[in-house]
């Protein structure tokens, strides 16, 4: 088996100029925010306008860039074309409530009674509230004409729910349509009690449907969307990565990059350390396992069918454990060199 060496293999992400949506995800604590923040800086050197969005309830982008970033696109200090945003569905809903139920992104004004009815529909489907906020977000960032949007995602389970939001929204909107079609009295209400508020709700759902169709087509198009799986060389992280890759494949989300982060390499400074050597030995085992399973350079094309070739071949990056936290512009820029092949 090949010896373990540092390698940054994300050059293909930079070179694929058609990419619009880039998701960075994996188990908690593997360094997703460091990877996504550094990648955002790299992409800002290649793209016209870049946005990094945190969908993790425990947001870390503000800490990564050492500045306050809210739930609206905020320009990152020291960059002219890089913006950050920490998605908070609760805060977005509160802002809508304070804005007289005005949904600016859809150009509709819904009165209080209609908004309450819409919220009742929304609350009847798990995840619909969050999905609607994400839909609003995607429409907003699309209108702001960002070249590329990078998602610093939450741990795996939350991320998979995020990626399934188009289906959640479809279920939600279908339920509203069923209410409209199956309750005769609703047609009367549309004309009287709510001042056409329900009509506005149905206008909203139709607008959302169009947005969903666009988003679904882009998420399932490898020219527009890709996922970068981040892990560390430990059993639980490997297991979580396998689960993530299977779900991405099932949802037809492209993923052809795996980043193995926080690898401890032995050099003259730590070669006499028993714990360091034991740690390196353990990590080397899991790195070799990952390479045997996924590394495109170790696959025998003759033994695989076309489907396997599309889903099981990955560019693998092996990044070193850092001696300090990677926070702030200077350290992020120093970390960049690990992301791309020298």
Positions annotated as catalytic residues are: 56
Cα separation, 199 vs 9, in Å, equals: 51
Residues 189, 198 contacting (CB under 8 angstroms)? yes
Assess contact for 77 and 160: CB atoms under 8 A.
no
Parallel, antiparallel, or unpaired for β 74-75 and 82-86? antiparallel
Distance CA 335, CA 106 (A): 40
- Counting DSSP H helices and E strands in the chain, the numbers are 14, 10
Task: Please say whether the beta carbons of 83 and 65 come within 8 A.
Answer: no
Q: Classify each residue of 116-148 as buried b or exposed e, where b means 16 or more C-beta atoms within 10 Å of its C-beta.
A: ebbeebbeebebbbbbbbbbbbbbbbbeeebbb
Per-residue H/E/C for 51-87: EEEECCCCCCHHHHHCCCCCCCCEECCCCCCEEEEEC
């Amino acid at each position: 088996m090949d010896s373990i060496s540092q390698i940054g293999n994300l050059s293909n992400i930079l070179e694929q100029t058609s990419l619009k949506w880039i998701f960075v995800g994996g188990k908690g604590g593997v360094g997703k925010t460091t990877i996504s923040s550094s990648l955002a800086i790299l992409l800002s050197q290649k793209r016209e306008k870049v946005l990094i969005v945190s969908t993790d309830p425990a947001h870390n982008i503000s800490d990564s860039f050492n500045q306050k970033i809210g739930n609206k696109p905020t320009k990152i200090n020291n960059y002219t074309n890089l913006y950050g945003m920490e998605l908070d569905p609760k805060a977005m809903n509160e802002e809508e409530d304070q804005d007289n139920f005005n949904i600016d992104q859809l150009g509709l004004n819904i009165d209080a009674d209609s908004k309450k009815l819409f919220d009742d529909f929304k609350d009847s489907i798990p995840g619909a509230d969050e999905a609607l906020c994400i839909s609003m977000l995607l429409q907003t960032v699309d209108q702001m004409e960002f070249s590329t949007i990078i998602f610093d995602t939450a741990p795996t389970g939350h991320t998979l729910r995020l990626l399934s939001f188009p289906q959640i929204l479809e279920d939600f909107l279908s339920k509203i349509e069923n209410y409209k079609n199956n309750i005769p009295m609703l047609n009367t209400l549309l004309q009287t009690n709510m001042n056409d508020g329900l009509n506005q709700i149905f206008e909203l759902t139709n607008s959302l449907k169009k947005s969903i169709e666009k988003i679904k087509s882009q998420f399932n198009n490898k020219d527009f969307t890709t996922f970068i799986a981040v892990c560390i060389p430990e059993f639980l992280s490997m297991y979580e990565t396998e689960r993530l890759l299977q779900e991405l494949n099932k949802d037809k989300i492209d993923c052809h990059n795996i980043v193995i982060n926080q690898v401890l390499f032995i050099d003259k400074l730590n070669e006499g350390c028993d714990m360091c050597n034991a740690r390196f030995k353990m990590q080397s085992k899991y790195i070799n396992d990952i390479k045997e399973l996924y590394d495109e350079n170790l696959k025998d094309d003759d033994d695989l069918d076309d489907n396997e070739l599309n889903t099981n071949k990955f560019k693998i990056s092996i990044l070193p454990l850092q001696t300090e936290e990677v926070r702030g512009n200077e350290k992020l820029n120093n970390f960049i060199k690990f992301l791309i092949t020298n």
